[in-house]
Amino acid sequence: MGTTRITAEPGMPFIDIEREFDAPRELLFRAHTDPELIAQWLGPAKYRMQVERLDVRDGGSWRFVHFDDRGNESGFRGVFHGEPSVDGILQTWEFEGFPGHVSLESLVFDERDGRTTLRIHAVYQSVEDRDGLIASGMEGGMNEGYARLDALVGRLARVA
């Protein structure tokens, strides 16, 4: 199974993420943009994920909600800058529990020999915002999500 590499240089407002998947980039793109697919993998395993809105186009917006066992909600939202495609996705990203602190993230799907490396470059409005997100434990939830995404695109690749 692949591992996720996270780079967060001290004192800079960036996070870089790199994760390889055993599937072509079309499937990675689909898993990021099809509401039924993204609900199956994004976020920590302990939450139920609901896609409230995912309007995949230039200027389209998205909103996802995670529910815990007791029904508590965590909302996330953003808009797409430019047309999302297999060449990449550029979007804003905001956790509604920390409103007004928004990041801009680019996702690139780099395919070689049928395997695809997902590269994310996220930039925050301050180093404090970036550090706060890392301190919140994003890494654990992301790893759980990518393990499920790995399994999902593996199943899709076998079906295709």
Binding site for a second copy (CB under 8 A): 12-14, 55, 58-61, 78-82, 90, 92, 94, 102-104, 106, 121, 123-125
Q: Name which of 46 and 53 has its Cβ closer to a second copy.
A: 53
The residue type of 60 is: G
3-state percent breakdown (helix, strand, coil) of the chain, nearest 5: 30, 40, 35
Q: Name which of 46 and 57 has its Cβ closer to a second copy.
A: 57
CB of 129 to a second copy, least distance (A): 10
Q: Angle 49-53-54 (CA atoms, 0-180°, nearest 5)?
A: 95
CB of 136 to a second copy, least distance (A): 20
Tell me how far CA of residue 88 lies from CA of 2, 28, 91, 106, in angstroms. 21, 11, 10, 7
Q: Name which of 44 and 60 has its Cβ closer to a second copy.
A: 60
Q: Name which of 12 and 151 has its Cβ closer to a second copy.
A: 12
CB of 59 to a second copy, least distance (A): 4
For residues 118 and 19, is the Cβ–Cβ distance under 8 A?
A: yes
For residues 67 and 47, is the Cβ–Cβ distance under 8 A?
A: yes
CB of 98 to a second copy, least distance (A): 13
